[in-house]
Structure 1
Amino acid sequence: MTEAWRDATQPAAERVADLMARMSLREKVAQMYGAWLNVGDTAGEVAPHQNDQAPDPIDWPELVRHGLGQVTRVYGSAPVEPEAGARRVADLQRQIIGAGRFGIPAIVHEECLTGLAAWRAPIFPTPLAWGASFDPRLVEAMGAHIGATMSRLGIHQGLAPVLDVTRDLRWGRTEETIGEDPHLVGTIGSAYVRGLQSAGIVATLKHFVGYSASRAGRNLAPVSIGPREVADVLLPPFEMALRAGARSVMNNYTDIDGVPVAADATLLTGLLRERLGFDGTVVSDYFAIAFLESLHGVAADRAEAAAIALRAGIDVELPGVNCYGGPLLKALEAGDVDEGLIDRAVERILRQKCELGLLDAGFAAEPAYLAAPSPLDDAEARDIARRLAERSIVLLRNSSALPLRPGARLAVVGPGAHRPDALFGCYSFPRHVGIHHEGLELGVETPSIVDALGSDFPVSYALGCPVLGGTDEDIAAAVAVAAEADVCVAVLGDLAGLFGTGTSGEGCDAVDLRLPGRQEELLEALLATGTPVVLVVLAGRPYELSRQVERLAAAVCTFFPGEEGAGALAGILSGRVNPSGRLPVGFPGPGASQPSTYLAAPLGQRSEVSTVDPSQLFPFGHGLSYADAEWGAVSLHSPDGWATDGEIELTVPLHNSSDREVSTVVQIYLHDPVAQVARPVRQLLAAPRVDLEPGASRTLVVTLHADLLSYTGRDGRRIVEPGDIELLVARSSADVHTCVRVPVVGAAREVGASRRLHPESTLLP
């Protein structure tokens, strides 16, 4: 007879309760941590403190004798062929099942921020490029493909998406964020969650909450923000993604006002669970529990760190067992931890394993990939990667230089011009792990920008300078090549990496927003040749271009566009593809020493009371096209005003009079002239993307609920209040097509976690 907890026809709660009643305390604790068996291949290379925090050499039979919660990065720690990785997963699962009394398999997790971070897996654009696409449907399709790949390989959980709202562009992890606006981050992030989880993979929201607000943009630096900024700027993307069904959340490394998030029960339990109703698992960021002792200094030893984190609400310790093994058992024996907290965590963990099918009697240890091996980087992946790259490229400026004239002689120069891995973000396998394996091929076919442009134009190449450093001779050689060309394409910006292996990425923070190294010097030398210069910013963050922008023939921005990025860029420059990306983060104005997002109150904008002007050179939402839709007169369907608990409809007629397909992003911003607290001058409420065939006309209808007007008032409650507001229908945060004044009528109303978070958009003939 099948035990009740193995019976897939029974409710999950009953199955978990039956299993827990049979388990010893030691067996329960074993479900609360992972094992990083490949750590020796990367120790001391991928991240600082990795050696310091790594446990003693793993005694595998002893480790799994009572069971095991998770297995860490079988595919993503060292180069491994997909089939070999799948066989390793099967072997590990069989050992884990055979070792414990109950034969409970482990959850296998991997990084998947720009695709599965594994050798030979497809490499998609970075999240900042997702934001630039303003295309949640395409991001959802990407997430579904990533999830399907992971599922075939026997993986259960992905550590993505990152939902941190960009607050300071100097922060190295800006490339991992989706943008500087909470609505955009939440909309795109939710789409990724839906896609990934459609394949049965658990999405893990990172990093709850406040990571991106670290002082001066320094990684892991303390955070000093008020509860209103948390509630109104940093939290909404997590709320939206939880509403989309995300099943796991990862804590933020930093402290907020002196309290490390890994130790903060008000955030991880009071806010996340009690207020927002989350019932999935909270997993620690790698080594975050041990960091309570070693970096934050709020625990005397690992036993105390374990007790603090468990009380706060962290269920699972990743990547390996540092604190939730022996130290936690020590704290239990000393009476410093209530055994009920163990049951609380393990119930969540086992419920998730139940949902994943790991408790079913028919669980198969062998990944499906072994029965039907095939390339991971298939035609569907390449198509999605290409379309997303094309839609994410932003045309910043164009003085009739683009599209390039057929047959034009190009000088293509710069550190990103002829280096395929310059197209990848810091969590791609080549830039994350591959760089530590000398001579390793990229694992996916990726032409450089020189290669891609060379298919359409006669091209001469010169380095000019690397991302950092360089010689006078190399700059002179690039100048000579540019002087002989019809157009110079300068590919400048970043190389992604981790902790000093690049200029963008985790731990690669910037002092200011000038182009790194000698790149600005190179750009000035190229401009001095008199040859028209088309600047391609290939980077993980925007850079300060105010000194050169008026002298550029054109400027294009792409945020690490992935394996199909070079071809996508060639399509834009040649004119085969009509650029339609929009900036998810603004480019800074002169100075760039005090970065500012568009989302600022009046005194955070340009003001006579300060000599520092934080205005953006290219604003949030900006993006040009070779042909764009014509926007008609905006109409508002709200004859009696906008009720504080009601909806309104905005209609925008759109027409494409060109001979090519166009794609436009209709951005709707809120301006609230009078409120209880200082509010952003403009805040995005909706941004639907509309595609139109040549000659087509459609009418966009956007339905907005009054909940979208809510904000945190003086007393800390989220409210919608009556009064006059303005809705700005705009092409960017600084380019307003129509301002619609709307009276909000009715009684002031408090709204909670169940508020409406998404606008609705429909297209009429």
Structure 2
Amino acid sequence: MTLAEKLAQIVGFWEKEDGEAVAPLQGEFEAERGYDEITRHGLGHLTRVYGTRPVDADAQARRLWGQQRRLVTGTRLGIPAIVHEECLTGLSAWKAATFPTPLAWGASFDPELVEEMAALIGGSMRDLGIHQGLSPVLDVVRDPRWGRVDECIGEDPYLVGTVGTSYVRGLQSAGVLATLKHFVGYSASRSGRNFAPVHAGPREVADVLLPPFEMAVLDGGVRSVMHSYAEIDGVPVASDPRLLTDKLRGEWGFDGTVVADYFGVAFLHLLHHVAGDLGEAAALALTAGVDIELPTGDAYLEPLAAAVAAGTVDEALVDRAVLRVLRQKEELGLLGATFEDEPPSGVDLDSPEHRRVAARLAEESLVLLSNDGTLPLARPRRVAVVGPNADRPHALFGCYSFLNHVLAQHPGAEVGLEVPTVREALVEELADTEVVAVRGCAVDDDDRSGFDEAVAAAASADVAVLVMGDHAGLFGRGTVGEGCDRDDLDLPGVQRGLVEAVLETGTPVVLVLLTGRPYVLDWALERCAAVVQAFFPGEEGGRAIAGVLSGRVNPSGRLPVSLPRSSGAQPYSYLHPALGGDGDVTNLSTVPVRPFGFGLSYTTFAHSDLVVDPAPRTDGTITARVRVTNTGERAGADVVQLYAHDVVGSVSRPVAQLVGYRRVALAAGESVEVELVVPTTRVAFTDREGRKIVEPGELELWVGASCADKEASARTTLTGDVHAVTTADPRWTSVTVR
């Protein structure tokens, strides 16, 4: 291969138009050259063929097949391109099914269902000739003010790792490569600002931020990893070989491809200022281990070619990246593909099976935060549905949904999906009830002119359902989403004022929150009859919410993030050591309004008879058995949560740490024994010398309704020598229900 042919294999091509701003700082780069010009020597990736604008899938498939044929017949080597798309909440394509956002996956505590969802997403992608998906996001939530919280699974590394790895397995089972985002540290940005520096210590990186990625590599066999935009302690990840080569490949044995986050190589020059020009940026990234520059070849084409010619970059580094790309194309069956067959047509991107899984995941993810008995609704005569998100389809979707990510920039295009709003779903659900809808206010402005109409509607109703929350968008175009960070955690705009005005009527208020982050809600939990938290529940989310309000659906979601006491109390994590909790040395409480793992039901559950192995070895497993009983009068699903605390450690340890969980469906009065076999690696940590170890000593374990509820507890003592953790050690808790 010539150098030009090699470089062509490690870059992408993105055919975009003016106004299609779906990546940061797109305007900083020159207009893209045409397809024929850019592909003279071949091409590594085709970027977002379906997901850049609303295009008919059949027509675009025919166009894609033509582009691939030209690569096969019109270049010397005849190698097709890998096609990649976003797929965080479903394939990012017009009229494709849109599932709940990852924060809702975390709230479901149901990795098996997430795997089923991902397999459906992967099947749609494979059918359209797409080879790689840029998901899942494995960033651990560290500060809810950060705009990209809605793309994350939760604040616990084990929850993120198990759910995220299940997504990887599902997507790759369909023959589509998953891509881990954003390796690593992106979510730990200072003050919750996008692209802000990260000042996490090496132990926080090793014990909190890296484990989900390690699980997805070692347990999920993921085939691609995307570097994060972050700089950790002054070193941009895109230029850090310790992470991208030593950790990822040397320690974990990853043998797939590392792709750049969009324009991330160029940002080494433009934003981080660790490179004097794009050639230097290319040299840093390539040396560190970034194999493929996405979405285009701003640094890896002419600037890198010039650096190789000048002798400042060893061409062997280019060869290393090209071989990784070609190996992946061989795995995908592309090296012998001709694209002489007919392109796909009539692919059902939103089939009844997509809908079934979307509905079930939406239902399982809804978290009941408070309830004075008003829910489920008892056949009300008249319901007032109030709020900016009550009758807005976009309110059900996250930032990386096609509706909010792409269609927002094409206002004339139809949605292309059946998306019942909360109002529409309630009209359908409550067939004998008069439903009156009033907007009241916008999501994020100061206009209170609609308050009076909303108050009047609520005053004449038996119950008022107030649907509040976020609008997901990009780069300041929303209240949550990429580049939509906040410096407070109050409900946006005048939404709190509207809720308080309706509360003054004396009509019972059910507050429904459609958000991409947790907000400060202590005032609402004290005064509202009930509060339901929905983390962007997707295309079937309106029906799921209506089902919970009517009682058709028994809520079973649990908080994947702590519900904050105040914005001033951030950043906060339930994984804090003893000094991070309440005490006599400060006048400020750290206790969240609702803890990690919290969620109410229309039935009740009891956890009893926790029995734990008395002396497990440090290099073994801990078996815990607990009895779970549905003590209420209707069927429901409990999430059994097992937590541990290392009583005395050589470094300070979290006061609580999730080490195992299982969703269990129980009939009224039913009782089962749940056995959790926990590898000791769940309580491993980085010691003072930087080694990941398991120490002998006493552990406290408990099961309860949240991390803060020690309903059934026990103690055990790890025995044996200090165990140095290796990649051969298991990381996954196995669960049996009897």
- The residue that corresponds to 1:103 in the other structure is 78
- Residues 680-737 of structure 1: CA distance to partner in whole angstroms, max 9, x if unpaired? 1101101111112445432211111222221001111111111111011122011121
Cα distance, 1:699–1:556 mapped onto 2, change above 3 Å: same
What is the Cα deviation at residue 627 of structure 1? Answer: 1.3
Are 1:242 and 2:242 an aligned pair?
Answer: no
- Are the counterparts in 2 of residues 152 and 367 from structure 1 also a CA contact under 8 Å? no
**3-state SS of 1:743 partner:** strand
Cα distance, 1:190–1:235 mapped onto 2, change above 3 Å: same
- The residue that corresponds to 1:303 in the other structure is 279
What is the Cα deviation at residue 608 of structure 1? Answer: 2.3
- The residue that corresponds to 1:664 in the other structure is 638
- Are the counterparts in 1 of residues 106 and 153 from structure 2 also a CA contact under 8 Å? yes
- The residue that corresponds to 1:383 in the other structure is 356
Are 1:26 and 2:1 an aligned pair?
Answer: no
Cα distance, 1:74–1:365 mapped onto 2, change above 3 Å: farther
- The residue that corresponds to 1:673 in the other structure is 647
Match runs of 1:447-462 below 5 Å: 447-455=420-428, 456=430, 457-462=433-438
**3-state SS of 1:328 partner:** helix
- The residue that corresponds to 2:503 in the other structure is 527
- The residue that corresponds to 2:165 in the other structure is 190
Partner residue of 2:147 out of 155, 172, 187: 172
Are 1:747 and 2:721 an aligned pair?
Answer: yes
Greater Cα offset, 544-553 or 554-563 = 544-553
Q: State how far apart, in whole Å, the 2-side matches of 1:404 and 1:40 are.
A: 49
What is the Cα deviation at residue 24 of structure 1? Answer: 2.1
- The residue that corresponds to 1:585 in the other structure is 561
> Which residues of structure 1 form unaligned runs of 5+?
1-22
User: Aligned partner of 2:191: which letter?
Assistant: A
- The residue that corresponds to 1:16 in the other structure is none
Partner residue of 1:710 out of 678, 684, 687: 684
- Are the counterparts in 2 of residues 31 and 67 from structure 1 also a CA contact under 8 Å? yes
**3-state SS of 1:548 partner:** helix
User: Aligned partner of 2:198: which letter?
Assistant: V
Q: State how far apart, in whole Å, the 2-side matches of 1:365 and 1:576 are.
A: 51
- The residue that corresponds to 1:19 in the other structure is none
**3-state SS of 2:46 partner:** strand
What is the Cα deviation at residue 398 of structure 1? Answer: 0.6
Q: State how far apart, in whole Å, the 1-side matches of 2:500 and 2:643 are.
A: 37
Cα distance, 1:428–1:410 mapped onto 2, change above 3 Å: same
- The residue that corresponds to 1:645 in the other structure is 619
Are 1:121 and 2:96 an aligned pair?
Answer: yes
Q: State how far apart, in whole Å, the 1-side matches of 2:154 and 2:397 are.
A: 18
User: Aligned partner of 1:27: which letter?
Assistant: E
- The residue that corresponds to 2:537 in the other structure is 561
**3-state SS of 1:422 partner:** helix
User: Aligned partner of 1:241: which letter?
Assistant: A
Q: State how far apart, in whole Å, the 2-side matches of 1:697 and 1:678 are.
A: 37
- Are the counterparts in 2 of residues 169 and 217 from structure 1 also a CA contact under 8 Å? yes
Are 1:395 and 2:355 an aligned pair?
Answer: no
Are 1:684 and 2:658 an aligned pair?
Answer: yes
Partner residue of 1:494 out of 458, 465, 470: 470
- Are the counterparts in 2 of residues 392 and 581 from structure 1 also a CA contact under 8 Å? yes
Q: State how far apart, in whole Å, the 1-side matches of 2:591 and 2:363 are.
A: 28
Q: State how far apart, in whole Å, the 1-side matches of 2:272 and 2:598 are.
A: 40
Q: State how far apart, in whole Å, the 2-side matches of 1:265 and 1:646 are.
A: 33
Q: State how far apart, in whole Å, the 2-side matches of 1:439 and 1:575 are.
A: 38
% identical equivalent positions? 55
- The residue that corresponds to 1:61 in the other structure is 36
Partner residue of 1:729 out of 691, 703, 706: 703
**3-state SS of 1:687 partner:** strand
**3-state SS of 2:624 partner:** strand
CA RMSD of aligned residues (A): 1.4
What is the Cα deviation at residue 391 of structure 1? Answer: 0.1
- The residue that corresponds to 2:246 in the other structure is 270
Q: State how far apart, in whole Å, the 2-side matches of 1:346 and 1:365 are.
A: 26
Q: State how far apart, in whole Å, the 2-side matches of 1:602 and 1:657 are.
A: 34
Q: State how far apart, in whole Å, the 2-side matches of 1:48 and 1:751 are.
A: 39
Q: State how far apart, in whole Å, the 2-side matches of 1:590 and 1:338 are.
A: 52
Q: State how far apart, in whole Å, the 2-side matches of 1:594 and 1:655 are.
A: 36
- Are the counterparts in 1 of residues 369 and 525 from structure 2 also a CA contact under 8 Å? no
Are 1:759 and 2:737 an aligned pair?
Answer: no
- Are the counterparts in 1 of residues 441 and 498 from structure 2 also a CA contact under 8 Å? yes
What is the Cα deviation at residue 363 of structure 1? Answer: 4.3
Greater Cα offset, 691-700 or 615-624 = 691-700
Are 1:70 and 2:45 an aligned pair?
Answer: yes
- Are the counterparts in 2 of residues 168 and 596 from structure 1 also a CA contact under 8 Å? yes
**3-state SS of 1:618 partner:** coil
**3-state SS of 1:665 partner:** strand
- Are the counterparts in 2 of residues 595 and 614 from structure 1 also a CA contact under 8 Å? no
- Residues 295-353 of structure 1: CA distance to partner in whole angstroms, max 9, x if unpaired? 11111111111111100100000001101011110000011111111111111101100
What is the Cα deviation at residue 134 of structure 1? Answer: 0.2
Partner residue of 2:455 out of 471, 476, 479: 479
Partner residue of 2:59 out of 75, 84, 88: 84
What is the Cα deviation at residue 473 of structure 1? Answer: 2.1
Q: Count how many residue pairs are aligned between Structure 1 and Structure 2.
A: 734
Q: State how far apart, in whole Å, the 2-side matches of 1:531 and 1:545 are.
A: 19
**3-state SS of 2:523 partner:** coil
Q: State how far apart, in whole Å, the 1-side matches of 2:242 and 2:640 are.
A: 38
Match runs of 1:360-439 below 5 Å: 360=336, 362-364=337-339, 369-370=344-345, 373-439=346-412
- Residues 260-306 of structure 1: CA distance to partner in whole angstroms, max 9, x if unpaired? 11111111111111111111000000000011111111111111111
- Which aligned runs of 4 or more in structure 1 are off by greater than 6 angstroms? none
User: Aligned partner of 1:422: which letter?
Assistant: A
- Are the counterparts in 2 of residues 154 and 367 from structure 1 also a CA contact under 8 Å? no
What is the Cα deviation at residue 545 of structure 1? Answer: 1.1
- Residues 513-545 of structure 1: CA distance to partner in whole angstroms, max 9, x if unpaired? 111111111111111111111111110001101
- Residues 650-680 of structure 1: CA distance to partner in whole angstroms, max 9, x if unpaired? 1122333555432111111111121111111
What is the Cα deviation at residue 752 of structure 1? Answer: 2.3
User: Aligned partner of 2:363: which letter?
Assistant: E
Cα distance, 1:80–1:41 mapped onto 2, change above 3 Å: farther
**3-state SS of 1:688 partner:** strand
Partner residue of 1:46 out of 16, 19, 22: 22
Q: State how far apart, in whole Å, the 2-side matches of 1:254 and 1:732 are.
A: 32
User: Aligned partner of 2:17: which letter?
Assistant: G
Match runs of 1:696-707 below 5 Å: 696-707=670-681
- Residues 78-113 of structure 1: CA distance to partner in whole angstroms, max 9, x if unpaired? 100111121121111111112211210000000000
Greater Cα offset, 719-728 or 470-479 = 470-479
Q: State how far apart, in whole Å, the 2-side matches of 1:57 and 1:141 are.
A: 38
> Which residues of structure 2 form unaligned runs of 5+?
none
Greater Cα offset, 105-114 or 478-487 = 478-487
Per the normalisation by structure 1, the TM-score is 0.94
Q: State how far apart, in whole Å, the 2-side matches of 1:466 and 1:493 are.
A: 10
- The residue that corresponds to 1:440 in the other structure is 413
Greater Cα offset, 701-710 or 110-119 = 701-710
- Are the counterparts in 2 of residues 28 and 343 from structure 1 also a CA contact under 8 Å? yes
Cα distance, 1:155–1:197 mapped onto 2, change above 3 Å: same
- Residues 107-129 of structure 1: CA distance to partner in whole angstroms, max 9, x if unpaired? 00000000001100000000000
User: Aligned partner of 1:569: which letter?
Assistant: I
- Are the counterparts in 1 of residues 569 and 590 from structure 2 also a CA contact under 8 Å? no
Q: State how far apart, in whole Å, the 2-side matches of 1:334 and 1:374 are.
A: 49
Cα distance, 1:138–1:57 mapped onto 2, change above 3 Å: closer
Partner residue of 1:112 out of 66, 87, 103: 87
What is the Cα deviation at residue 196 of structure 1? Answer: 0.3
Q: State how far apart, in whole Å, the 2-side matches of 1:450 and 1:592 are.
A: 35
- Are the counterparts in 1 of residues 463 and 507 from structure 2 also a CA contact under 8 Å? yes
- The residue that corresponds to 1:287 in the other structure is 263
- The residue that corresponds to 2:105 in the other structure is 130
Q: State how far apart, in whole Å, the 1-side matches of 2:484 and 2:122 are.
A: 29
- The residue that corresponds to 1:18 in the other structure is none
**3-state SS of 1:547 partner:** helix
What is the Cα deviation at residue 61 of structure 1? Answer: 2.4
